[in-house]
Amino acid sequence: MHKVQKERRVPPLTLFATALITLVMDQLSKAIVRIHLPLGETVSLGFLEFRQVRNPGTAFGLITSKAWPLFVVSIVLFFVLILVLWKWGGPGSRVFQMGLGLIIGGALGNIIDRLTLGEVVDFIDVGFWPVFNIADIAIVAGVGIVLVIVAKQTWKGENEADRET
């Protein structure tokens, strides 16, 4: 009798490492800004400025009133999104894990700010865009990576289906 061996699932180490590194970089950069760059002061590097601002609202300060209910909804949606992406892609490739890790680490960084400070610390100012932070960069990059992978796999699946017909 032949035994069917179950496939061993390897923990998604790339996802965990990327999320942890992102979270540490975000929280460390915000701590440095809170300590060394008082509110209202600016350090200019020409095209880029560092300026500590506090964001009591949603992403990019778009909605400032009734932010807490939206914050709770966004946390729930965040975990639903991660669950859906995980179910869709499983541990996936290292790049997929990296994308999810960036999203998770960045989101956790901003969630920690919201829970501990009541607002998010933003400090990177490029002039033409709302002031942002490392967590925001990680989230946008992670979403971009995941979208590219999803689009490529969807396109690949459609091409394979076309060849079969």
pLDDT band at 79 (very low <50, low <70, confident <90, very high): confident
What confidence tens digit (pLDDT) does each residue in 8-46 have? 456 678 889 999 999 999 999 999 999 999 998 999 998
What percent of the chain shows pLDDT beyond 70? 73
- Does the annotation count 136 as an active-site position? yes
In this predicted structure, what is the pLDDT of residue 66?
A: 53
Distance CA 26, CA 28 (A): 6
- Does the annotation count 113 as an active-site position? no
Asked if residue 3 has pLDDT above 60, the reply is no
3-class DSSP string for 112-160: HHHHHHCCEEEEEECCCCCCECHHHHHHHHHHHHHHHHHHHHHHHHHHH
Whether the CB-CB separation of 113 and 121 falls below 8 Å is answered with: yes
Distance CA 123, CA 118 (A): 16
Asked if residue 5 has pLDDT above 50, the reply is no
Q: Name which residue leads in pLDDT, 61 or 5.
A: 61
pTM, to two decimals? 0.78
Asked if residue 64 has pLDDT above 70, the reply is no
Q: Which residue, chain included where needed, has tokens 């590194």?
A: 21
Asked if residue 71 has pLDDT above 90, the reply is no
What confidence tens digit (pLDDT) does each residue in 137-160 have? 999 999 999 899 888 888 876 666
Q: Which of 113, 122, 125, 162 is catalytic?
A: 122
Q: Which of 26, 113, 125, 136 is catalytic?
A: 136
